[in-house]
Amino acid sequence: MARYIVQLSYKGSNYHGWQVQENAPTVQEFVNKALSTLCNQTIETTGAGRTDTGVHARHYIAHFDSATPLPYPSEKLIYKLNCILPRDIAVEDIKSVHDSFHARFDAISRTYKYFICTKKNPFQLEFSYQLFYPLDVDKMNKAADILLEYHDFTSFSKLHSDVKTNNCKISYACWNKTSGNRLVFTITADRFLHNMVRAVVGTLLEVGKQKITINDFCKIIESKNRGNAGVSAPAQGLFLWEIEYNNL
């Protein structure tokens, strides 16, 4: 038995996230089927984590075990996988790793980016939240800085999730204006809760719209109550951007 990682990217518009679900198309389902077909055995991948329905991934890592050597050299296997997979899922790399490697538990940080388009743009409909409301970006960044001072993010977690702890260590959170009338929010942490980034973005937008103060933002975090936070920002603006490992 040998362990391998697969690095991929995907456009999440047509999928109910990464993780296999009954009666709903997911990225993991298609990757498992493609690997199983080419390797002539049942392959079950283990991903670095969930992504929400409609969320995209620029960089995603999963591992899998194979009872036999891979049937083709890496480049040829990648080519064949990309021929089988839908056009909105792309395999970037496959390589062997040590048997104890775990795509989820060995990740030391994850980075997400959220894109907002501040001017109508038909070419960004599926990859950004089109929001034509004046925002105080400086105030949003002051609130984003405060995230680094907290660890319990229950207020930004989907209700009734099955995680053991709602503690996360955020190491970076910042809004930047870019060319093309876009705002980009980048956030890095050791882990994220289900729906957390979209809930954080939605609440920061309330700060930017002057609907809540920075002090209100602190109180929302400290309340540990999802009902006090803002509405989750739409999924199409969110990208899983990078996953970092020490042992890759």
Pairing of strands 238-245, 56-66: parallel
| DSSP H/E element including 175 | strand 170-178
The CA distance from 229 to 157, in Å, is 10
51-77 CB burial, b ≥16 within 10 A, e <16 = bbebbbbebbbbbbebeeebeeeeeeb
Is residue 55 within 8 Å of 17, Cβ to Cβ? Answer: yes
What residues does 112 pair with on adjacent strands? Answer: 187, 240
Give Cα separations from 194 to 2, 40, 49, 147 (angstroms).
Answer: 31, 34, 10, 17
pLDDT tens digits for the chain (248 residues)?
899 999 999 999 999 999 999 899 999 999 999 999 999 999 999 999 999 999 999 999 999 999 999 999 999 999 999 999 999 999 999 999 999 999 999 999 999 999 999 999 999 999 999 999 999 999 999 999 999 999 999 999 987 666 778 999 999 999 999 887 899 999 999 999 999 999 999 999 999 999 999 999 999 999 999 999 999 999 999 999 999 999 77
What domains can you pick out in the chain, each with its CATH number?
A: 2-97 (3.30.70.580), 108-245 (3.30.70.660)
Catalytic residues: 52
Instruction: Give the residue from 59, 67, 57, 60 showing the smallest Cα distance to 35.
Output: 67
